[in-house]
Amino acid sequence: MSRSPGAVRTRHGLRRWISATTGALALAAGLLTAGAPWASAASLTQVSGFGSNPGNLAMYEYAPDGLAAGRPLVVALHGCLQSAADYHSHSGWAQFADKYGFAVVYPQTGSTNNALSCFRWFDSSQSTRDRGEALSVKQMVDKAVAQYGTDRSRIYVTGLSAGGGQAANLLADYPDVFAGGAVDSGLPAQCATVQSAASGCQNNDQRLTPAQWAARVRNSYPGWTGSYPRVAIWQGTGDTVVKPVNGTELRDQWTGVWGVSQTPSSTRTLTGGTTLTSYNDPNGKPAVQLYSIAGMSHGLAVDPGSGTGQCGATGAYYLNTICSSYYTAAFWGLDGSGSGGNGGSGTLPAPSGLTVTGTTDTTVSLGWSAVSGAASYDVYRNTTKVGSATGTGYTDTGLAEGTTYTYTVAAVDSAGAAGTSSAAVTATTTGYVAQCFTASNYSQVTAGRAHTSGGYTYANGSDQNMGLYNILTTHTLKETSDGYYVVADGGC
């Protein structure tokens, strides 16, 4: 999906054709070279004969050398005019497959299915359970599970742009298959079911409540009574192809599915101008995470380099901001953190009694009860491992003052396998750093910084009138103390 130079202007009016005719999501990419019929270690290759394939897709896969049975599987869907090879070489998923030990399946569509090689997230014949492209992807999962001996409780799906829209549909269609998902610059599940509605989803607020959005997920598999996948949402605030409201709608949809508040359980500032808001389940574990990247246009967030948490390669619609694949992998627990849908790979129980024993402006101290058989303990801050301890206490350092963090702890056995993570606790460092937020009145309300009354918007705490409750009126709010906001349009 794209309306930007290089993807649209070189295609003789494609901008108008995308918007008016298909509503599709176009991204520039390279061509794919066909591979061998079976995957060899550490190379991207094509797999044939994976099922009836009603969606007419191609299956490509990557697995690191010596991949053991019982490891996770990630399904990664490219954007329009992209290919499996392009996504494989730019997204960083191969790097983390090697590092953490899992296989990756890359479904690929083509111009036979859609003139722009878009996954057809906007077509109910292709995006609903056991039909079209959705069933083809499910058949690829089954093929990979049989080939690699994948742990069926640790299967995940992610996608960019049109692939992100289809990934959201797959999470709704197959909650019995996917433990978690990530939607990068994509659309809510079942936002459009006919092609003519696609551009409206891309560009406009659909004005649905969280409950209405959640119903579209539940109606995708009405018979499902189990738990739903944990979902990461990545959205640039400067995206003009898939407007930022889609990130908010995805947040509303999946918090609605989980039955949790749209008010963040925690907020964290990351590299690349990224703000992470987490929405925890009743056990204190993040069920939904929204990564909002200030100023980023349409594409996948990458951060080339060899440092911890860096990944990927820049290119058309691979944008140098933050390594989204790294944080998504950590959210799912692929790094061994146990933060994913089903905990770590070890068998030790979760430590009990995790408490905050002290805070300063830059540190948080923790304590917990011992677990029999534990050789050490891994400590996680906001789902990312930050250290380990041989005893039952740990002090996290180098933190920002006046900031809230979420912690869990997992016991590690003598073989180095982390067990189930503990219930989460939150800790806030002392001191306070004033923050400013510029957004529409609608976004300020949905972020929990303002509220509405009689069709007008008021800042939380100060109750200053901000004007009509809509997406057109924009204000800057300054948080002068915890939960207290004042209008600061003149400067912050």
Catalytic site positions: 161
Distance CA 14, CA 3 (A): 8
Ramachandran angles phi, psi of 55, nearest 5°: -90, 0
Residue type, 443: S
Two tokens at 195?
């092609």
Q: Which residue has the tokens 């949402």?
A: 233
Closest CA to 132 of 242, 52, 187: 52
Would the CA dihedral through 11, 13, 15, 16 be positive or negative? negative
CB 25 within 8 A of CB 202: yes
Distance CA 346, CA 343 (A): 8
**Residue-wise burial string across 309-330, b where 16 or more C-beta atoms lie within 10 A, e elsewhere:** ebbbeebbbbbbbbbbbbbbbb
**Residue-wise burial string across 398-418, b where 16 or more C-beta atoms lie within 10 A, e elsewhere:** ebeebbbbbbbbbbbbeeebb
Look at residue 420 and give its three-state secondary structure.
Answer: strand
CB 292 within 8 A of CB 237: yes
CA distances from 348 to 262, 283, 294, 383, 412 (A): 33, 19, 40, 19, 7
| Beta bridge partners of residue 451, listed in sequence order | 458
Closest CA to 1 of 18, 13, 16: 18
Measured in whole angstroms, the distance separating CA 204 from the mean position of its chain's CA atoms is 21
